[in-house]
Amino acid sequence: MLTQLNRVRVRGRLEELKEKYLDEFGETTLRRLSREGILPSPYNFAAFNPPSIDEYIVHDSTLREGEQTPGVFFSIEDKLEIAKKLDEMGIQQIESGFPAASEKQRKCIEALVNMNLDAQISAFARAIPGDIDVVADTGADGIVVSFSVSHYHRKYKFKGMSEEDYLNKLADIISYADDYGLFVIYSAEDSTREKDLGFLKKAFKTAESLTP
């Protein structure tokens, strides 16, 4: 539950962001949600001008993120069958699991790699070399590197990590994965709670500059 003080702080921050980033639709939506006690990230409604994109890549995370749904449990056979169907649908990238989490996860990813699907197989890792080593050992084509970016996580999870240290570690860890020949996807965990949009842009630009 949010305390009254925290609600005041959140609403104050929303007002700042609305003036800087939001269009009329976003302001209207945020006011309605606020009345209902829902406080989403203001970035959801930011009036950005996205670049034109000629080609889209569908990255499916059913086999990892989907399995985290309460009550959902996939056997290895289930995952292989799901991956086969996704491949038949033309999905370009399949996120296969988190191999550093368990031996079962690792074996499942190796089995998916051995299916020789048209889709690229990626696997999840935290931003630590050991996780990346395990992904590379599975034979996966790529890696999803999760590295929390918000000021909350940098302060508490990473013991006061500065913005500069974060960017340096991000560059190091992406380069480490790239040295294995993996295609790298940077997953900026908790990005919607990062209050500094400029820093978010720096983080993504850093990752983009290091990936082919």
Distance CA 196, CA 198 (A): 5
Q: Which of 60-64, 81-85, 160-164, 191-195 has the lowest mean pLDDT?
A: 191-195
Q: How confident is the model at residue 148 (pLDDT cuts 50, 70, 90)?
A: very high
pLDDT tens digit sequence for 153-201: 999 999 999 999 999 999 999 999 999 999 999 999 999 888 888 999 9
Instruction: Please state at what angle helix 103-113 crosses helix 129-138, rounded to 10 degrees.
Output: 40
Q: What is the pTM of this model?
A: 0.80
Q: Give, in words, the CATH class of 59-210.
A: alpha beta
- Span 125-153, average pLDDT: 97
Domain-by-domain residue ranges, the chain?
A: 4-45, 59-210
Q: Which residue is listed with tokens 């908790």? A: 190
Q: H or E segment at 8?
A: helix 4-21
